[in-house]
A and B are shown apart, each in its own frame.
Chain A
């Protein structure tokens, strides 16, 4: 196959993670952004970023 599927997945989640985390930082403390006390945009944005980078690392490794 010409394309390793982990490459687009890695790129997508890296970009998504950066977008969400940045938005989470920018809106930190705004009303309604932290349901049940968790700043979820920031926390989950970072999680997605980690996932995306891990996928990219796997692509490079092989």
Chain B
């Protein structure tokens, strides 16, 4: 267990003071519900752009991408270079005119304007439930990590983090969340950049990392370059650590999952809706694309480095693992295993012995890759900065969920169905109250996660089923005026069911029937869990697309005059306001795609 110095605590307190100070300073600018939920649509594009990626920069990103970096190597960058970037270009260029132009206040409200009430209700309810549970899962992960690394109380950690997030959103609404997200973004970048620098220095630069990972790769039965090339070994699922082949990767991750998340998730879209003009709203995801494409170096590289740095090269020679909780006592070093750097083995919660897979190899606790690297290389002072950056990522992810939740609850569910027609002041009060409730449910969900891990796995699975078909509904709704509300609703339900059936009929290699799939009988076996996820998404998307088209053709479309501003072809294409050519959405889009292409080629 690591002990912090006074300076580490000082860094954290300084950060908390600023986060709360921003909330307090913005308190007076909140007069209407639109100020609270949509920042009065008055924020410049570079601010919403940074908030756009920061809201998504939660625990899943910093801890999860580091874990994937250690597990799969540089191929994890596909989540960015063929995943996020093309999707962000697509929403900025083609979808934002409808979201922003329709003056909808939320993504479900767009669905109501475009389709009907039932499609909106389905999306609003599933989204509201998902956001509070995601925020709870993130809180749980944070509490567990701080307890394990620093011996902090689980209860105190989640309570303090949740109360700070609650305070700054309660005071300053979405503006406060967005401003803090920009601060958090800077902190995460400036906190992790020196970690990557020190790590690369310790292993002899990129070429040193390549050489060391080559040994690791061959020890695991892959070609030497399998961890340091993103495309070269994607020809067949068995030749790369991801266990996926090109088609599944490009269609499943690049198209269905990434477009589904970045183009339809209100958590990120809300940031763009807060922008001060149509052009600013369109530029929001495009501006965000540039830092986003460099994130692999910040969040994936630490995971790769943790796998190969020598346990004695840092300032704190790393014991097998820092131990704190009763469940993590005394992890013995793995005997005669391939090099795993400073990534500790995963322990069996009952026997406290390292877990082994079907082949008898020790299973590593990849989620600890990035935090271990932090403890390994940062001395007192920098450690405070690194841990504060980690806390910032947890808090920005949680704030993103809470602000999206309070908006969808207040505008789509409360104003839509429970209490329509009340005064604006009433909805503003409801928004503040919902913030408190949302945070309270998140804390409750964190405790549920702590006691019944399987329930959370199950919920995340259900969320994946609900999310997978979404992009088909939005793409058809925005670009085919013939799409009807009945078609959209049927498509969404059919797509979700198809995802559940496909998952229930397949199993990743080496997994047991149950939460991992196969509960309806095992028809297909996938080489990896990711391959199964990608293919499930493809099946859900295609089913939703086909069902929406078929039912739309069989039902009566809405008259064209009702769809102005909502559908391509019935909406004037927005003229770029007088911004310089290099600031125009089209220019930004072309440059972003070109840069992503170059990155793909460099790490091919």
By a beta-carbon cutoff of 8 Å, the part of chain A in contact with chain B is 1-3, 5, 8-9, 11-13, 15-16, 19-20, 23-24, 27, 32-36, 38, 40-41, 44-45, 47-48, 51
B6 to chain A, nearest CB (A): 9
Interface CB pairs A-B, < 8 A, 27: A2-B28, A2-B29, A3-B22, A3-B25, A3-B179, A5-B47, A5-B179, A5-B183, A8-B22, A8-B179, A9-B183, A11-B18, A13-B186, A19-B7, A19-B11, A20-B11, A20-B382, A20-B385, A23-B7, A36-B201, A40-B198, A40-B378, A40-B379, A41-B379, A41-B381, A51-B186, A51-B190
A61 to chain B, nearest CB (A): 15
- Whether B315 contacts A35 by the Cβ 8 Å rule is yes
Task: Kindly list 15 other residue pairs between chains A and B, CB separation below 8 angstroms, not including A3-B25, A5-B47, A8-B179.
Answer: A1-B42, A2-B26, A3-B22, A8-B183, A12-B14, A13-B186, A15-B14, A16-B385, A20-B381, A32-B379, A33-B315, A34-B379, A35-B202, A35-B379, A36-B202
- Whether A40 contacts B382 by the Cβ 8 Å rule is yes
- Whether A24 contacts B183 by the Cβ 8 Å rule is no
State the 8 A-B residue pairs at the shortest beta-carbon distance, nearest first.
A41-B381, A35-B315, A12-B18, A32-B315, A23-B381, A33-B379, A23-B7, A5-B179
Report how far A45 CA is from B194 CA in the complex, Å. Answer: 11
By a beta-carbon cutoff of 8 Å, the part of chain B in contact with chain A is 7, 10-11, 14-15, 18, 21-22, 25-26, 28-29, 42-43, 47, 175, 179, 182-183, 186, 190, 194, 198, 201-202, 313-316, 377-382, 385
Q: Is the interface of B mostly helix, strand, loop or mixed?
A: helix
Q: A8-B18, A8-B179 are in contact. Are A1 and B29 (CB under 8 A)?
A: yes
> Which residues of A are found within 8 Å of B182, using beta-carbon distances?
5, 9
Q: A3-B26, A20-B382, A32-B379 are in contact. Are A44 and B194 (CB under 8 A)?
A: yes
- Whether B21 contacts A8 by the Cβ 8 Å rule is yes
Q: A1-B29, A3-B25, A5-B182 are in contact. Are A38 and B201 (CB under 8 A)?
A: yes
Report how far A20 CA is from B14 CA in the complex, Å. Answer: 12
A30 to chain B, nearest CB (A): 9
A25 to chain B, nearest CB (A): 11
> Which residues of B are found within 8 Å of A27, using beta-carbon distances?
380-381
Interchain CB contact (< 8 A) of A35 among B11, B22, B179, B314: B314
> Which residues of A are found within 8 Å of B14, using beta-carbon distances?
12, 15-16, 19
Report how far A19 CA is from B7 CA in the complex, Å. Answer: 8
Interchain CB contact (< 8 A) of A48 among B190, B202, B315: B190
Using CB atoms, name the residue of chain A closest to B172: A3
- Whether A1 contacts B186 by the Cβ 8 Å rule is no
